[in-house]
Amino acid sequence: MKKQGIYVKGVNEELYREIKAQSARLGKTVSEVVTTAMQDWLRRKGSEEEREFLENNLAYEAMEEDILARHQGKWVAIEKGRIVVVADSIDQLKKSLGDVDHRIVLKVGAVRPTKKYIGGSSLRRIQS
Amino acid sequence: MTIKNPLTGASTTQEGLLDTGYDGLILLPWSTYMELGLRKCELPRNLWSVGVSVTGEEFPLRTAHVEVEIDAVRRLALAETYHDNALRLIGRGFIESHVTILDGPKKLLRVKVEERQPKLRTLAGEEARRMRDKRHSRLSGLK
């Protein structure tokens, strides 16, 4: 893995001193400790997103028939496993949205899944 | 082209490749999809299309709503991606709904603004009317 030095603005000085002291006690460098902390944060963030992704999709799949029957042509947003807003346009959704890691947004009845061929002319061009 | 998250306003402007071999509207690199936070504007997974590769392999196409701007045309569209994809494509689905001009020497695709079309049609109509009137007046002069 490529390594590089980075400068991070706005780091709490006391926190940095504590990290430096603890790292020295453990015989590690600040860089090793910070890298581990960043990896942990990303892992946790990833699982939170995954959890919300599953929660929203399972909720949609359970409510799909009802949504199709009641909200045809409307925009629907699902957050944390529940419908948070039904609106006439995507712009109107904005007002009622929360701070989440995953959200389902759809115009009811407007999308049908299909099979799509990928790797046509452009891929051939890139490969040649 | 400029791709914008319609809910957060996060956007990126990058070159896209026209690919008439791709049936969809817009295919984004996985990294762009994540950077724009399109997970927060995503279709349910049972409405995602299935991508088919050159080798026949099938995989889900994660799909989200985006605002696309190409030339002066701005519209809502569905952008797709799949894990590790690095291609940025404008597909047949996008160009099918617009009047486009392929500028060969410049290797550019231009999208005609729809508002201009009625104006062009009107001019063509006026020209035809003028020609018809001219012909009529010539014929009436012969009588």
Question: What is the predicted ipTM?
Answer: 0.72
How far apart are alpha carbons B46 and A113 in whole angstroms? 8
Mean pLDDT over B78-100 rounds to 88
- What is the tens place of the pLDDT at every residue in B38-61? 999 999 999 999 988 877 788 899
How far apart are alpha carbons A104 and B32 in whole angstroms? 18
Nearest Cα residue in chain B from A79: B40
pTM over 0.90: no
Chain A positions in Cβ-Cβ contact with residue B49 (cut-off 8 Å): 113-116
How far apart are alpha carbons B48 and B50 in whole angstroms? 7
How far apart are alpha carbons B59 and A117 in whole angstroms? 11
- Amino acid letter, B123: L
pLDDT value of residue B138: 57
- What is the tens place of the pLDDT at every residue in A54-99? 999 999 999 999 999 999 999 999 999 999 999 999 999 988 888 8
pLDDT value of residue B122: 42
Indicate the residue of A61, A122, A124 with minimum beta-carbon distance to B87.
A122
Indicate the residue of A57, A111, A122 with minimum beta-carbon distance to B19.
A122
Residues of B (80-119) whose Cβ lies below 8 Å from A: 80, 82, 87, 89, 91
B33 touches chain A (CB under 8 A): no
Q: Are A101 and B40 in contact (CB under 8 A)?
A: yes
Hey, are the CB atoms on A116 and B50 less than 8 Å from each other?
yes
Question: Nearest C-alpha of chain B: how many angstroms from A10?
Answer: 23
Question: Nearest C-alpha of chain B: how many angstroms from A12?
Answer: 26
Q: Which helix (H) or strand (E) holds B13?
A: strand B11-13
Hey, are the CB atoms on A121 and B47 less than 8 Å from each other?
no
Give the burial class of B127: count Cβ atoms within 10 A of its Cβ; 0-12 exposed, 13-18 middle, 19 or more buried.
Answer: exposed
Of B43, B7, B37, nearest to A97 by C-alpha is: B7
